[in-house]
Amino acid sequence: MCLIKKLKVLFIFFSLTLSFQNLNALENRILFKVDNEIITTIDIFEEIKFLKTFNPEMNSLSKEELFEISKNSILRNKIKKIELTNFVKELKVEDKFLLNIIKSKYPKIGMNSLENFKNFLKDNNLNFEIIREKLTIELIWNDFIYQKFNEKVVIDRNKIKNEILQNPQKESQIELLLSEITFTINDKIDFQNKYQKVLLDIEKIGFKKAALIHSNSETAANGGAIGWINENNLNKNIKEIISKLQTGQFSKPIRTSSGFIIIKIDDKRESVSKFDLTKKIEEIIKFKTNDQLDQFSNMYFNKIKKDLKIYGL
């Protein structure tokens, strides 16, 4: 980070630190502008509160790191909002869909109604309407990506079926708890610089916090957590690479259609279930479909980000 930018970050956080307990005392300054969308000190303040509430590990990050994470999170949201307004009349979803994403994203807090979620946010001094818009944009973006790219998803059902039948199926299956850090590059020098920064932060502050800072995937907000994945659902290249890893280890960058991915094995377990060919085929198809849509989403996002002018960075 250059000296001017570093001084800017420190100034912002000096103001935020002094005013953290008093939002009314915080000077609301415009920091960045994306098209007609502005990002202010209040936005950064609210984003940090939100991220820290759902990611306790962020409490140990430096002010500069908190600023970068919150800035990147807000920028991603604003860019999606700008793009979506070109295609939809109103950024609005039904409460039942909003509750579904709340349940899926925040299972640890056990929310079973919007009222409970509102009360949780109120107890943590968080603005429900700001978070509602954030989650609404995420829902509409996912639907937009599906509608735009679903027909481009390539799945060979017969190939999947033959691969399953060619490999003896055991009732005992290996499942992996995975996390990721994804990033894009401009050239080889950029790759080396980014990779070294990621490695240094993984060593210094751990994989989860490094994902919060560096990853550009949707999982970044959750410390890169992907969840439990049946190892047989992974594509051959990734499966072969991570099969050599022990629990707690992470891979070197793996090239994907939208950039690079570093995968970490957080845990392993055996699951026992009766083999069902049809169910297994559908499970793999669903996994591969979601994986391809994620790739399309990242590529499309990177494209529109390049086309937008971002002032203040």
Tens digit of each residue's pLDDT (9 = 90 or more) over 250-297: 999 999 888 899 999 999 998 887 888 899 899 999 999 999 999 999
- Contact between 22 and 300 under an 8 Å Cβ cutoff? The reply is no
Report the C-alpha gap between 148 and 295 in whole angstroms: 13
What is the homologous superfamily of the domain 3-149 according to CATH? Porin chaperone SurA, peptide-binding domain (1.10.4030.10)
Task: Note the pLDDT of residue 149.
Answer: 96
**What SS3 state is found at 225?**
strand
Per domain, the residue ranges of the chain are: 3-149, 169-284
Report the C-alpha gap between 260 and 80 in whole angstroms: 21
CA-to-CA separations, 246 to 176, 178, 209, 241, 250, in angstroms, rounded: 11, 12, 20, 11, 8
Task: Note the pLDDT of residue 187.
Answer: 82
Tell me the average pLDDT across 42-64: 86
Q: Using alpha carbons only, what angle is made at residue 280 by residues 279 and 283, rounded to the nearest 5 degrees? A: 85
Say whether pLDDT at 86 is over 90: yes
pTM beyond 0.85: the answer is no
Say whether pLDDT at 17 is over 60: no
pLDDT band at 24 (very low <50, low <70, confident <90, very high): low
Tell me the average pLDDT across 75-85: 94
Task: Note the pLDDT of residue 20.
Answer: 47
Please list the alpha-helical segments (H only) found in the chain. Answer: 3-19, 41-54, 63-84, 95-105, 114-123, 128-149, 157-166, 188-205, 207-214, 236-242, 277-307
Choice between 242 and 28, residue whose per-residue pLDDT is larger: 242
Tell me the average pLDDT across 19-23: 48
Task: Note the pLDDT of residue 1.
Answer: 46
Tell me the average pLDDT across 107-123: 84
Write down the CATH number for the domain with range 169-284. Answer: 3.10.50.40
Choice between 230 and 12, residue whose per-residue pLDDT is larger: 230
pLDDT band at 63 (very low <50, low <70, confident <90, very high): confident
Tell me the average pLDDT across 103-131: 85
- Specify the amino acid at residue 131: I
Task: Note the pLDDT of residue 144.
Answer: 96
Tell me the average pLDDT across 200-216: 92
> What does the radius of gyration of the chain's CA atoms come to, in whole angstroms?
21
